[in-house]
Amino acid sequence: MVPVSYYVALSAILFTIGALGVLIRRNPLIIFMSIELMLNAANLAMVAFARIYTVLEGQIFVFFVMTVAAAEVAVGLALIVAIFRTKHSINIDEMNSLKG
Amino acid sequence: MTFFYLAPWIVFFPVIGLLVNMIFGGRFSEKVIGTVASLASGLAFVCSVLLAYSLTGHPEAFRWTIGEWIHIGTLQLDWTFRVDTLSTTMMLVVSGVGTLIHIYAIGYMHEDVRFKSDLKRFRRFFVFLNLFIAAMMILVGGDSYLMLFVGWEGVGLCSFLLIGFWYEMDTLARPSWANSNAAKKAMIANRIGDFGFLIASFLMFWAFHSLQFDQVFQQAPAIAASNPGLITAITLFLLLGVTGKSAQIPLFVWLPDAMAGPTPVSALIHAATMVTAGVYLIARSAALYVTVPAAQFIVAMVGALTAIFAATIAVGQYDIKKVLAYSTISQLGFMVAGVGMGAFAAGMFHLVTHAFFKALLFLSAGSVILGMERGHHHLAHHKGHDEHGDPHEEVFDPNDMRNMGGLRKTMPVTFWVYLIGALALAGIFPFAGFWSKDEILANAQQGGFTAVYWLLAIAAFFTAFYMGRQIWMVFFGEPRHEAAAHAEESPKVVTVPLMVLAALSVVGGALNLPGVETLTKWLEHTVEFIKPSEFIMSVALISTALALIAIFISWLLYGRKPLKAGEVDPLKKMLGPIFTGMERRWFVDEGYKALFIDRYVDIARFTADVIDWKFWHDWFHEKVIAGTYNWLSNVMLNRYADQRGIDGFFNGLGEWTKNAAAGLRRFQNGFVRSYALFVLIGVVAILGYLLFK
Amino acid sequence: MEFILQPLTLMTFFPLLGVLVLLFIPSEKKNAMRWTALIASLITFLISIWVLTMFNASNPDLQLVAKYNWITVAGWNIQYYLGIDGLSILLVLLTTFLSPISILSTWTAVEERVKEFMIFFLLLEVGMTGVFLAQDLFLFYVFWEFTLVPMYFLIGIWGGPRRIYAALKFFLYTMAGSILMLLAILWLGIYQGTFSVPDLITKGGIDPHTQLWLFIAFAAAFAIKVPMWPLHSWLPDAHVEAPTAGSVILAGVLLKMGTYGFLRFNLTLFPQAAVQAAPVIAVLAVIGIIYGAAVSYAQADIKKLVAYSSVSHLGFVMLGLFALNPQGIQGGILQMINHGLSTGALFLLVGMVYEQTHTREFKVYGGLWKVTPIFGTIFLIVSLSSMGLPGLNGFVGEFTILLGTFGSTVLHSPWYAGLAALGVIMAAVYILYMFQKIFMGPEGSIVEEVKKHGHALRDLNWREIVTIVPLLIFIFWIGLYPAPFFHLMAPSVDKLTAAFQAAALAMR
């Protein structure tokens, strides 16, 4: 059986890649993919631990995360489309209207 | 057979009449409105007759309760009608004379120059008139002092409404506040009297624990024996009420001004019925008055002084209605003196006959005024062809006797009835006034009221004089104004009631002829204190002689050599300033104005503007309370404690925060990415701390 | 469900349902909002009639009681306690009766922010009904203060030119008095262990000296509300600036909260202090009667005249209450109703003419009886009722009050009633002055002035007649046949006066 540390290491690598993607990339689509990557990294960790400890909650959580991720992508893509319509660009550097 | 169950209907019929006119009157013609109102009053008269008839076989008082009114603890008041000989006498006078005047008013109001075919006004007049009959019936038909008071104030209201009937003008129909002022004056003077009535009723209630007539009268002798001062106080406060309603000194000033009302109103309310309510009140309270002779003397003196005082003023008036108004005050003085002396039958007798002949005089005066107005109208119409639309038309006063003269030829019917009324008022044998006035004089002499007797006798002399003066000035001589020359006789609807009243003024004395004493015996059932009055020949002779002398003097002054247009009154030439005093009503109104009315207005203004507003509202609340608060909060706390102390600390804190914020705001650049970076750094830091702590 | 279905609870809070509905009506549908408010207040009135049918007039005690524990922390025992008896039933009915009438009067007068107006109005009704029903001092205080807020906004938003000033003055003045009352309430709650009024009465036993202090603290709040001379300074401001419906409710109900407070709390909780203080209160009342009447006469503004006349009229009420005998107290309660009806009606009528003329200065009026006969006649009847003409409602109240005062064994002097009766004359002076200056005399300049703006001065329309006629019916009813009204309050008042006999005896 594959030791759990392998899974965790993979999960950590995936998460780091995702986080770096979010911070570095300018294209929101890529940022979304990176977010998915981070979520799936978490999923992987959860499934791995669930299997080790033979508890079901971790696996169930993963389903929740997947649902939420799907919903989030749907909302996020809609937002991007809406932003593109008004700004004719989806360059992330032009979106700083959160500044007070 | 008895008809006592009809008692409430003496009120209900007029009320129904006024409601019918008020609700449906909009669609009625003048005739229908007048008929409805007259019918309502007439039915009340029929009821009164039936009630009186019922009493002939059953002379004790009959009481008929229609509903509960105020019941609190020992205070038990009901809407109860009382049918006894005294109240039915009043009911008969009120509804009888009232009905005649209703009929007369149909004609009069139509003819009135101010009327101008305004049906709303016409309807309003008859609504008020019916309301008056209803209120007066409550007054005379009530079984307790408080129900009497309801009627008492009710008639006061009607008086207000009817004096102010032409509220937008003065007596000469010019736009003015005068008529409404007169109305207000009447009501307020009455209210002052009502104050007395109220206090009397409080005293009465706490002394007798009842306001019902029988219960009060039963206990009166016992209370009078133990506490005569209390009864004296009650009777004197009642007298204050009487002076208001019956226009006695000192509250008589409203009645002359009340002539601003239409003439039928002057006849009905301000001569025949309402103003006699005070006399009725004293007669009703006979049981109280007889227990306190001192109060009786005061009442008699007030009456006698009023009689002579008003008679002197009547001598100096030029307005035909004002003469009659002062004459009314004077005659009311006779009545009050009569009932005050304990001659209740005599007072009531004079009340009845006076209702006949004074209503007659007023209505005839109304007929004269109508005639003058017609003459003036004719004239204006005639002139109108030459001078088209002259805006500066001369103000013509149809009431002024100096404009009249010689009307006996143009208005014969009016002349004859007026003459009858005048003779009755002057007390000439065998007219009604002779008998009733004589009975009062006889009682004064017999009862030992010498001063009262002489005052009244002199007043009777003046009465005959001013009536003589009026007759000569109005009906004899030559017309002093073209309007008088063109005056026309009034229509039948006006003159027929006059003739009926004239007949009553002639034969009215038969009610209580010496020796027969019909009225005295009738009233005996109710007023137990009636003394049998004698006919004293010397008194009769003296008063007749005085009257004849007075008429002779008036002939010397006004009849022998009639007044010319623009000529000064011959009496004025003779008496000079005394006549001016009489003409100007002895300056009583001016005195009251300077002493009371202006002072009240001053006090009210001062209290309102200075004390309440400037001092209390503005100064105290704005300056003192709000100012102190502002001072405390602004100056004390804000400037010293706050700005230097607390503010110093907090301002420093604020400055520091501001500086810190200026540095920190650079991190807030709006890029989600950079926020995420901070989050990441934070998470790493926390994790690092957790791992390596 | 059981809680809300109790008749008194339902009656008190029913207007809230109207508020709820109003919240969902779009603000441009003004008529829908007016109808909603009107119907809500009408149903409340019907509920109060239902309460009246269940009310047993021969029982002097609290009836239809709704009682729940509310706040019971740390030994405090605050209850939700509603009850009705002969002292309050007429006032409750007056409240529920005047509310729909006032709402009807705003139909065309209030065009701005209708929704907020109606909401505040219904909230005010909740507060007022609660004040008259609360039998727990704490609950009473909550309702008492609660009425301030809607009234503050009614004056402050829909009022005249100086509305902010007037509203603030009204608020602060009333608050200042209430604070003292709150202290007294807390004292009672802490030292007597209960806030419930009936319990406090049965417990009794406060020593006379303390009673007097508590009496004064309560009296401070109520005297300002009445308002008694010399604390009346907020009244003319509030009345002049308030919109018509606000004035009607202010004069009709809010002022009665003060007199009712005296009746319900000062008289029942502190009988000995009441006996001691009666002469002082009576003197203030008599001064108020005469002062109010004199000041009324000198006003140039119609509404101000009516406002000051309230000072005079409520002086009569206070005098009657502190005669401490059945005639005085019953007359006092009836006079509260009478004042609500006739002064309420006067404010309505003044509002109706103001809506057309936009001025209340006497000097531009005159001769309106000819132009607007129905208006004139109704105004006359209402004025006469206010002046105490026998046969109309005002007289029954005034007469019984004066009669009671005259023979009061507590006041023990005829001078109070004698001087107060002068107020009857003075009332005639200012009332007739008002009537004359508006309706008699030559036509005032306002008639032309209104014509210049396109349409002539019109007489009352149907809505206005419908608004005013119910009041007229009661004006005549109470004047001619007040027996049902007296029967409703007699047992409770007898119970109250019996307590005074005991208190007076205890003091000897």
Chain B hits for A97, CB-CB cut-off 8 Å, are 670
User: Are A and C neighbours with ≥3 CB pairs closer than 8 A?
Assistant: no
Asked if the Cβ–Cβ distance from B671 to A95 is below 8 Å, we say yes
> Which residue does chain B place closest to C330, by CA atoms?
B72
Shortest distance between the Cα of A55 and any Cα of chain B, in A, equals 26
Asked whether residue A22 is domain-assigned, the answer is yes
Q: If pLDDT is split at 50, 70 and 90, which confidence band does B391 have?
A: very low
* pLDDT for residue A98: 60
CB contact under 8 A, B672 and A23: no
Nearest residue, CB atoms, A23 vs list B668, B670, B676: B676
ipTM reported for the complex surpasses 0.90? yes
Least confident of B657-661, C13-17, C263-267: B657-661
- Report the distance separating Cα C198 and Cα C136, nearest Å: 9
Round to whole Å and give the CA distance between B203 and C297.
30
Residue of B669, B676, B680 with shortest CB distance to A99: B669
Q: Is residue A86 part of a domain?
A: yes
| Chain A residues whose C-beta sits inside 8 Å of any chain B C-beta | 19, 22-23, 92-93, 95-100
CA of B675 vs chain A CAs: smallest distance (Å):
9
Whether the per-residue pLDDT at B134 is higher than 50: the answer is yes
Tokens of C249: 């409710």
Return the CATH number at A84. Answer: 1.10.287.3510
Q: How confident is the model at residue B362 (pLDDT cuts 50, 70, 90)?
A: very high
**Residue of B669, B671, B679 best to disrupt the A interface, most CBs of A under 10 A:** B671
Q: Inter-chain contact B670–A96, Cβ cutoff 8 Å?
A: yes
pLDDT at residue B385 tops 60? no
Residue with tokens 């002489």: B454
Domain annotation covers residue A100: no
Tens-place pLDDT, residues B462-516: 999 999 999 998 898 888 888 888 888 888 888 888 999 999 999 888 888 887 7
Helix C462-480 / helix C89-105 crossing angle, nearest 10 deg: 160
For residue A82, is it within any domain? yes
Q: Say yes or no for a CB contact (<8 Å) between B205 and C299.
A: no
The verdict on a CB contact (< 8 Å) between B677 and A92 is no
pLDDT reported for residue C451:
85
Higher pLDDT pick, B146 / B659: B146
| Exposure letters C47-75 (e unless 16+ CB within 10 A, then b) | bbeebbeebebeebebbbbbeeebeeeee
Q: Is the pLDDT of residue B325 over 90?
A: yes
Mean pLDDT, residues C446-469 taken together: 87
Q: In a mutagenesis test of the C interface, which of B167, B205, B251, B615 is the best target, namely the one with the most C β-carbons within 10 Å? A: B167
Query: What is the average pLDDT score of chain B?
Result: 87
The pLDDT value given to residue B107 = 87
The single residue listed with the structure tokens 């604020």 is: B654
Is the Cβ–Cβ distance between B425 and B361 less than 8 Å?
yes
Is A74 among the domain residues?
Answer: yes
C422 contact B CB<8A:
yes
Residue B5: the pLDDT is 86
Here the tokens at position B608 are: 């309102």
Mean pLDDT of B144-148: 92
pLDDT at C113 over 60: yes
CA distance B221 to B290: 9
Q: Which amino acid is at C47?
A: I
Given a cut of 50, whether residue C27 has pLDDT beyond it is yes
- At residue B492, the pLDDT reads 85
- State how far the Cα of B147 lies from the Cα of B81, in Å rounded to an integer: 9
Question: How many domains does chain A divide into?
Answer: 1
What whole-number percentage of chain C has pLDDT above 70? 99
The residues, any chain, with a CB within 8 Å of residue C425's CB and separated by 6 or more, are B188, B191, B192, B194, B195
Greater model confidence, B602 or C499: B602
Partnered with residue C473 across adjacent β-strands are none
Which residues of chain B neighbour A22 with C-beta distances below 8 Å? 673, 676
Task: Report DSSP state, residue C361.
Answer: B
Q: What is the pLDDT of residues C122-153, one digit of tens each?
A: 999 999 999 999 999 999 999 999 999 999 99
Any contact of A with B, at least 3 CB pairs below 8 A? yes
Q: Is B184 on the interface with C (CB under 8 A)?
A: yes
Q: Which domain holds residue A67?
A: 4-94
Q: Which residues of C touch B68 (CB under 8 A)?
A: 481, 483
Confidence of residue B641 (pLDDT cuts 50, 70, 90): low
- By percentage, how much of chain B surpasses pLDDT 70? 96
pLDDT digits (tens, 9 = 90+) for C207-244: 888 999 999 999 999 999 988 988 888 899 899 999 99
In this prediction, residue A96 has a pLDDT band, given cuts at 50, 70 and 90, of low
**Interchain contact, C440 vs B167, CB within 8 Å:** yes
Closest to C33 in 3D by CA, of C14, C55, C18 = C18
| Per-residue tokens: B191 | 């209210």
Which pLDDT tens digit goes with each residue over B230-261?
999 999 999 999 999 999 988 999 999 999 88
B446: confidence class by pLDDT, cuts 50, 70, 90? confident
pLDDT (tens digit per residue) in B293-321: 999 999 999 999 999 999 999 998 989 99
* Closest chain A CA to residue B673: A23
Distance from CA of C360 to the nearest CA of B (A): 18
* Average pLDDT in chain C: 90
State whether residue C384 sits within 8 Å of chain B by CB: yes
pLDDT per position as a tens digit, A62-84: 999 999 999 988 998 898 888 88
B676 close contact with A: CB closer than 8 A: yes
Structure tokens at A66: 């997947």
Q: Which residues from B are below 8 Å from C480, CB to CB?
A: 69, 79
B-chain CB neighbours of C172 within 8 Å are none
Q: Who's near C459: CB < 8 A, 6+ residues apart?
A: C371, C372, C373, C374, C375
Q: What is the pLDDT of residues B54-69, one digit of tens each?
A: 888 877 888 889 888 9
Q: Which of B150, B176, B617 sits opposite C233 (nearest CB)?
A: B617
- From chain C, the residues in CB contact with B154 under 8 A are 389-391
Per-residue pLDDT at B383: 65
In a domain, A99, yes or no: no
What SS3 string covers C66-104? EEEEEECCCCCCEEEEEEECCCCHHHHHHHHHHHHHHHH
Instruction: Give pLDDT, residue B255.
Output: 92
Task: For residue range B546-572, list pLDDT tens digits in order.
Answer: 999 999 999 988 888 888 877 888 888
Whole-number Cα distances in Å, C71 to B589, C12, C62, C80, C407: 70, 20, 22, 9, 45
Distance CA(B352)–CA(B92), nearest Å, equals 9
Instruction: Determine the Cα–Cα distance for residues A8 and C202; give it in Å rounded to an integer.
Output: 78
Q: B: neighbours with 3+ CB pairs under 8 Å?
A: A, C
Average pLDDT over residues B377-400: 66
Angle, helix C302-321 to helix C393-406, in steps of 10 degrees: 40
Tell me which chains share at least 3 CB pairs under 8 Å with chain A: B
The number of residues making up chain C comes to 508
Q: Does the pLDDT value for residue B384 go beyond 60? A: no
Q: Which chains touch C (3 or more CB pairs under 8 A)?
A: B
CB contact under 8 A, B191 and C424: yes
For residue C473, the surrounding DSSP H or E stretch is: helix C462-480
Q: Tell me, what's the pLDDT at B389?
A: 46
Gap between the Cα atoms of B312 and B314, Å rounded: 5
pLDDT tens digit sequence for A1-52: 678 888 999 999 999 999 888 888 888 888 888 989 999 999 999 999 888 8
Q: Is any Cβ of chain A less than 8 angstroms from the Cβ of B691?
A: no
Q: What is the pLDDT of residues C403-418, one digit of tens each?
A: 999 988 888 889 999 9
Q: Do A96 and B669 touch (CB under 8 A)?
A: yes
Is residue C438 within 8 Å of residue C366, measured between CB atoms?
Answer: yes
User: What is d(CA A96, CA B668) in angstroms, rounded to the nearest whole number?
Assistant: 10
* The pLDDT of residue B360 is above 60: yes
By three-state DSSP, how is residue B63 classified? Answer: strand
Within 10 A of B649 (CB to CB), how many other CB atoms are there?
9
